[in-house]
Amino acid sequence: MNVVDLLCQLVRRPTHHAARAEEAGDELALCHDVAPLLRAGGADEVVVEACPRASGHPGGYVFARWGTPRTLINAHVDTVPANRGWSHDPWTPEVKDGRVSGLGSADTKGAIAAAIVALDRVRPRDVGLLFSGDEERGTAAVRAFLASPHAAAVERVVVCEPTARQAGVAHRGVLAYTARVRGHGGHSSRADFQPAPIVTMARLAIALHDLGVARKDAGPDGMRGLCMNVAGIDGGVAFNVIPEEAALTFSIRPAPGFDRAAWEATLAATIAAIDPAIALTCEIEHAPFGGGDDRGLAALVRPHVEALVPLDFWTEAALYQAAGKAAIVVGPGDIGCAHAADESVAIADLEWAVALCADVYAEAGRG
């Protein structure tokens, strides 16, 4: 089986998220596509499980096992929507100049292709392969897998993301919030005498920015600062209408060891000083990843990687760690290409990933 040809097949199957479920790709279809390849690779069991993803569209995962899996390789089948600026159809792969270009080629269909092709080199033992959906907008598929009997024996997980031939041993979490405040609304001729929700949110935005600036040097080496992102203020409808309400969205990316209780106390005090009527909701809670016993994962991948590093982006390795399983993050491609127009992966990286997966299969079986 050729890794480039297989990746092209995977790219042609749209699996992107969309605001409207009917405009989204089909994760389950891709899972069914690869299930016969896993069976042909000698898997003792292959299951395709459905679970709804964040958009409400059907999603799920395909899981294959050889023996009793203690080591798992996981890559996600879903992609973000196609960004603007593509020079060709995102779902029509192009192979040129030593690269494969197409939506999901780096993030992370290249890893899926490599893991499957590696089955031609080494027959795994006590290994599982999990290709799961809903990574880009939620975590439904991995959470469903972790709650299933198939995850019970798994002790350590190689989480595939584009890491430029490095291995991620830690990364930040994500806390995303929405702050809301209500006024009375009405005609702008009464603006001097009415609450101004947009202005209240603007004051909060500046205060949050200042909190981020004050903490730019806080945190462990390689992950200093909060990555405070004030993302948007919504609420106005017209120049001559006093908004009835306004909302502010913002996020931070905490490093491992982050004191969330202390942070939220500071956040509450900051909000109260501006307007106690502001209501705050935490929309996304992704824990940081790092630390603890890696159960030999670093040694397992070390011959193939250039360095063990902290990563700037969140991955589902944090979910595995929270479930008591060791994890490491490594895969073909560069995160700088992910989510961008003309996303691509080097063919040399794909071949490197095939060799990495084959060695994981072989070494896990010896253990």
Cβ-defined contacts of 225-231 (< 8 Å, 24+)? 226/252, 226/253, 226/254, 227/172, 227/251, 227/252, 227/253, 228/252, 230/205
Spatial neighbors of 98 by CB under 8 A, at least 6 apart, are 346, 347, 348
Look up residue 286 and give its DSSP letter.
E
Q: In terms of residues, how long is the chain?
A: 367
- Rounded distance between C-alpha atoms, residue 216 and residue 357, angstroms: 38
- DSSP secondary structure string, 49-106? EEEE-TTSSEEEEEEEEESS-SEEEEEE--BPPPPTT-SS-TTS-EEETTEEESTTII
How many whole angstroms separate alpha carbon 253 and alpha carbon 241?
36
Strand, coil or helix: what is 162? Answer: coil
Distance of alpha carbon 106 from alpha carbon 110, whole angstroms: 6
The catalytic residues are: 135
> How far is the C-alpha of 272 from the C-alpha of 278, rounded, in Å?
8
Within 172-311, residue ranges assigned H as helices are: 197-214, 260-274, 297-301
| Angstrom distances, CA of residue 104 to CA of 34, 115, 246, 296, 332 | 16, 15, 36, 29, 12
